[in-house]
Amino acid sequence: MDNILGIIILAVVAFLLIVIIRGLKIVPQAHVFVIEHFGSFKCEWQTGIHFLVPFVDRIAGKVSLKEKVVDFKPQPVITKDNVTMQIDTVVFYQVTDAKQYIYGVERPLAAIENLSATTLRNIIGEMELDATLTSRDVINTKITSILDQATDRWGIKVNRVELKNILPPREIQDAMEKQMKAERERREKILQAEGDKKSQVLVAEGEKESQILRAEAKKEAQILEAEAQKQAMILRADAVREQKILEATGEAKAIEMVQAALADSLVKLNSANPTEKVIQLKSLEAFAKAADGKATKIIIPSEIQSLAGLATSFKEVMTDPKREQPEK
């Protein structure tokens, strides 16, 4: 009997341990658990460890608070000018209220997809084909705003909606490709014409610069030639001036030599008390010595000139043949 009671106690303890262990729940980061008590909402468990009362409480839903991305299938839409296109969207959403997300709507993703399709049809139906193809940002902004307002009561926040692909009918695609090809060819011709124009302008500018450089080079050559001629004329003038200076210096030195010779003669004559004729003869001798120099001009004093005349007359008398024969 005691053994049976011990076994029962051990079984109860083991059962309680199992219940306690199974009742411990850990909520990971960025998650929320919605708890129900006898089928009605009780609370929300945030990140951490919690205990779930067995047979009384249960987890109604585990909600992730991370941002999610959903890629919906292409939806047929009709533009204002009656062109049917296939457009698929990408929705970025995040759960902000776990209770509203669990109890607000059945199958939230299906609700978001249907709401996205109807909103997209309404927006595209007010736009023409060209505007639809060139107004992605406008469409994205409008559909994001409408979906965010509609899903707010579901505890969902739509952060962004992007149009992934816009596929018009095949015939329109062919027409658009032809138009794009024609536009590319037109731009190519324009670019080629602009390139030819720029090339001609550059060639003309190059020729112009070349002519300017040649003219400047010719001008510089003429200036240098004129400068050379000017320098040559200056050098010739300096040479002539130097020659005249040398000639004048020679004449001055000759005069100084004559004056020095006269002075020396006078000094010697004065020391010897000579007569006037002797003085004149000495001057003539000094003048003869001066004349042996390199001076081209000699200034003869008047006294020497008279003495020279006297010497000439004396020579004629001495060489007269009549005076050589004595009178009989």
Q: Which domain holds residue 88?
A: 67-168
pLDDT over 70 at 209, yes or no: yes
Closest CA to 127 of 96, 81, 189: 81
Residue entry with tokens 């490709």 = 177
pLDDT at 61 over 50: yes
pLDDT band at 183 (very low <50, low <70, confident <90, very high): confident
pLDDT value, residue 237 = 86
Taking Cα atoms as reference points, which of 57, 54, 87 lies closest to residue 72? 87
Q: Note the pTM of the prediction, 2 decimals.
A: 0.51
Would 189 be classed as within a structural domain?
no
Residues 134, 98 share a domain: yes
Higher pLDDT, 113 or 287: 113
The answer on pLDDT for 197 being more than 60 is yes
Closest CA to 93 of 102, 101, 105: 101
Last residue of a domain, one of 131, 147, 168: 168
Residue 140 placed within a domain: yes
AA identity, residue 267: V
Domain identity same for 134 and 74: yes
Q: If you average pLDDT over residues 262-286, what whole number do you get?
A: 63
Per DSSP, what are the bridge partners of residue 282? none
Residue 234 lies in a domain: no
Residues 137 and 154 in one domain: yes
| 296 belongs to a structural domain | yes
Report the CATH number at residue 123.
Answer: 3.30.479.30
CB 72 within 8 A of CB 116: yes
Question: Which domain-ending residue is among 114, 140, 168?
Answer: 168
The total of structural domains in the chain comes to 3
Greater confidence (326 vs 284) lies with: 284
Query: Which parts of the chain are beta strand (E)?
Result: 24-27, 31-37, 40-45, 48-51, 57-64, 67-71, 75-78, 84-95, 156-167
Please tell me the predicted confidence (pLDDT) of residue 83.
86
Q: Answer whether residue 193 is part of any domain.
A: no
Residue range 229-247, pLDDT digits in tens = 888 888 888 888 888 888 8
pLDDT tens figures, 112-168: 999 999 999 999 999 888 888 888 899 999 999 999 999 999 999 999 999 988 888
Domain limit, last residue, from 64, 92, 117: 64
Residues 135 and 94 in one domain: yes
Q: Give the SS3 label for residue 74.
A: coil
Interatomic CA distance for residues 76 and 90, integer angstroms: 15
Model confidence at 20: pLDDT above 50: yes
Question: In terms of domains, do 309 and 284 share one?
Answer: yes
Query: Is residue 185 domain-resident?
Result: no
